[in-house]
Amino acid sequence: MHFSVITPTPGLEHEAVRQLLPGAYTEHQWLWRFFPSEAGTARDHIFRRTDQGQAMRFYVVSKRPPVAFSDAWSVRTRPYAPRLQNGDELEFELRANPVVTRRHEDGKSRRHDVVMDAKTRAKTEGSQPATGYSLVRSACTTWLSQQGEQHGFQVDEASLSVDGYIQHVAKEDQLRFSSVDFRGGLRVTDQDAFSAMLASGLGHAKAFGCGLMLVRRPL
Q: How confident is the model at residue 37 (pLDDT cuts 50, 70, 90)?
A: confident
128 vs 143, more confident: 143
Over 90: is that where the pLDDT of 101 sits?
no
Instruction: Confirm if 84 and 98 have CB atoms less than 8 A apart.
Output: no
Q: What are the backbone dihedrals phi and psi of residue 18, each rounded to the nearest 5 degrees, phi first?
A: -65, -35
Which of the four pLDDT bands, split at 50, 70 and 90, describes residue 138? very high
CATH of domain 89-216: 3.30.70.1210
Q: What is the pLDDT of residue 132?
A: 77
The DSSP output letter for 40 is T
Pair type for strands 99-103 and 89-96: unpaired
Average pLDDT, the chain: 90
pLDDT tier, 126 (very low <50, low <70, confident <90, very high otherwise): low
- pLDDT attached to residue 131: 66
d(CA 19, CA 95): 24
Cβ contact 8:17 at 8 Å = yes
pLDDT bracket for residue 125 (50, 70, 90): low
pLDDT tens across 56-79, in order? 899 999 999 999 999 999 999 999
3-state SS string for 84-150: CCCCCEEEEEEEECCEEEEECCCCCEEEEEHHHHHHHHHHHCCCCCCCHHHHHHHHHHHHHHHHHHH
Instruction: Considering only residues 53 and 69, tell me which one the structure prediction assigns the higher pLDDT.
Output: 69
Cα angle value 134/50/112 (rounded, 5°): 45
For the ranges 23-27, 65-69, 103-107, 174-178, the one whose mean pLDDT is highest: 65-69
15 pLDDT higher than 70: yes
> What one-character DSSP code corresponds to residue 154?
E
DSSP label at residue 207 = G
Measured distance CA(114)–CA(143) in Å, rounded = 8
Q: Report d(CA 173, CA 67) in Å as an integer.
A: 32
> What pLDDT is attached to residue 6?
96
Q: What is the pLDDT of residue 39?
A: 76
Q: Is the pTM of this model over 0.85?
A: yes
Query: To which CATH superfamily is domain 2-79 assigned?
Result: Crispr-associated protein; domain 1 (3.30.70.1200)
Using CA atoms, how far apart are residues 210 and 182, in angstroms rounded to an integer?
11
pLDDT in tens, 163-204: 989 988 766 556 688 999 999 999 999 999 999 999 999 999
* Dist CA 148 CA 5 (whole Å): 26
Q: What is the pLDDT of residue 133?
A: 81
Q: What is the pLDDT of residue 78?
A: 97
Residue 46 in contact with residue 201, Cβ under 8 Å?
Answer: yes
Question: Looking at the predicted structure, is the pLDDT value of residue 42 above 90?
Answer: no
Angle (CA) 87-93-96 rounded to 5° is: 110
What percentage of residues in the chain have a pLDDT greater than 90?
Answer: 63
**Share above pLDDT 70 across residues of the chain, in percent, rounded to a whole number:** 92
Domain boundaries, the chain: 2-79, 89-216
Q: Is 18 helix (H, G, I), strand (E, B) or coil?
A: helix
